[in-house]
Amino acid sequence: MPEADVRRQASELKFRDPAKARALAEKLARLCEAIGREPIQVMHVCGTHEQAIAKYGLRTLLPKPLDLIMGPGCPVCVTDLPEVDEAVALAEDGKLIATYGDMLRVPGTSKSLAEAQAEGARVEVVYSAAQAVELARSTDEDVVFFATGFETTAVATAAIALEDALPGNFSILSAHKYVPPAMELVAQIPQTKVEGFLAAGHAATITGWGIFEDLVERFGIPVVVGGFEPLDIMAGLVRLVELIRDNSKTVVNMYPRCVTRAGNTVAQQQMWSVFRTAGGMWRGIADVPDGSLRLRDEFAHLDARKKYKIDISRLLQHAPSALTEQCICGAIMSGLATPTDCALFGKECEPTNPVGACMVSSEGTCKIWYQYGGHPEL
């Protein structure tokens, strides 16, 4: 067999074997039957999980009693309107905005960065915080890195902020969010009745799985840390339903090839030396205490909010449209509704003309359902 084929098989078959996935699905069905009630509600809190579930068509494998709810797992979706407005205002004021690709189309109060760009503002897509710094080095213009995402990208922003000799024209507009407080908040919403969490493996590589012990203790809800390949997800769900059956309130790490109990302590140290937690809105959900990450005072020289006077008032003159008021993104991100419950889904609200942020990002539940067909009967 040619070497390339060997590599391909090694990389794919290990965690993408449909036969093994079906075997896990059967096990899951037996477990649900043994529990003998429905729905059994579990929640994942990660857009990458929903992506993988939809992309591989895993929902068609899940037993009917198991209700797998999508929680607030999309960093793009929970970026709040005023945060987008700040970036748009800076762009319109002539700053060069560098940001991740899927932030471009997120609607602000009156426009998105993509629309500001179409009107002449400068917006560059970058793949990393480091690339934003390179961009600043290559120009005399003021470059503002619109930094979004959870712990996973916040550590990358922190590592950059700690570098020596950053160019003077570089600054950071932080809209980073911190996941654990949001999980606590969702765990407390009475209507959701979450019986178990499938936690995001990539965020846990940074925070460590130990961070969930406190949540388990206080709310009595088991947590399984899971990876993102089809078999990771199926095996994670099997373990989670086992914990529910056994009434076992504990954290189980089902992603040990990447996640440890302590996590990446160097990255954590860097993150907390650069950022502090702050309260702030998660778009559509609620004010999440300690759910936002802001630059510490020592990094004021890099903080776009301190470096520039950001005036978003001119963007706020648009009253929210009638459509925006019908959007139920918040309920969807809290796990209280699914996209097909929304009157706008696939009609007035489409990826090219999104009403809510959930229809923008490839991590957003509405976009994922639009793209892959939600609960398909194909």
Partner 1 sequence: MSSGPTIGRRPQDEIVTLKHGAGGRAMRTLIEETLAAGFIEGDGGAIGLAAFDDGAALPIGDRWLVVTTDSHVIQPIFFPGGDIGRLAIAGTVNDLAVMGATEVLGLTSAVVIEEGFLRSDLERIQRSMQETCHEAKAKIITGDTKVMGHGELDGVIINTTGVALADSVVSDSGLSPGDRIILSGPIGDHGIALMAARRGLGLEGELRSDVAPINGLIRGALDAGGDAIVAMKDPTRGGLASALTEMAEKSRVGIVIDEAEVPISTAVRSAAEVLGLDPFHIANEGKAVIGVRPEAAQATLDALRSHPQGADAAVIGTCLEEHAGRLILDTGFGRRLLTEPEGEPLPRIC
Bridge partners (DSSP) listed for residue 169: none
Instruction: For the CB of residue 87, give the shortest distance to partner 1 in the complex, in Å.
Output: 14
Q: Cα–Cα distances in Å, from 373 out to 46, 56, 229, 293?
A: 18, 12, 20, 34
3-state SS assignment for residue 349? strand
Q: Could you give the 3-state DSSP secondary structure of residue 142?
A: coil
In the complex, minimum distance from the CB of residue 280 to partner 1, in angstroms, rounded to a whole number: 18
Distance (Å, whole) CA 378 – CA 374:
11
The rounded distance, in Å, linking the Cα atoms of 138 and 251 is: 47
Comparing CB distances to partner 1, the nearer of 7 and 301 is 7
263 binds partner 1 (CB under 8 A): no
CB of 246 to partner 1, least distance (A): 27
CA 246/CA 252 separation, integer angstroms: 13
The upper half-sphere exposure of residue 212, i.e. CA atoms within 13 Å in the direction of its Cβ, equals 32
To partner 1, the closest distance from the beta carbon of 297 in angstroms equals: 27
322 binds partner 1 (CB under 8 A): yes
Measured at the CA of 97, the angle between CA 163 and CA 85, to 5 degrees, comes to 120
Residue 60 binds to partner 1 (criterion: CB under 8 A): yes
Which residues, 156 to 215, sit near partner 1 by CB under 8 A?
202
The one among 48, 171, 205, 334 contacting partner 1 by CB under 8 A:
48
x/- mask, partner 1, residues 267-296, rule CB under 8 A, reads: ------------------------------
Determine if 230 is a binding residue for partner 1 (CB under 8 A): yes
| Residue 150 touches partner 1, criterion: CB under 8 A | yes
103 binds partner 1, rule: CB under 8 A: yes
Residue 193 phi/psi, 5-degree rounding, is 50, 50
Count of residues of this chain found to bind partner 1 when the rule CB under 8 A is applied: 60
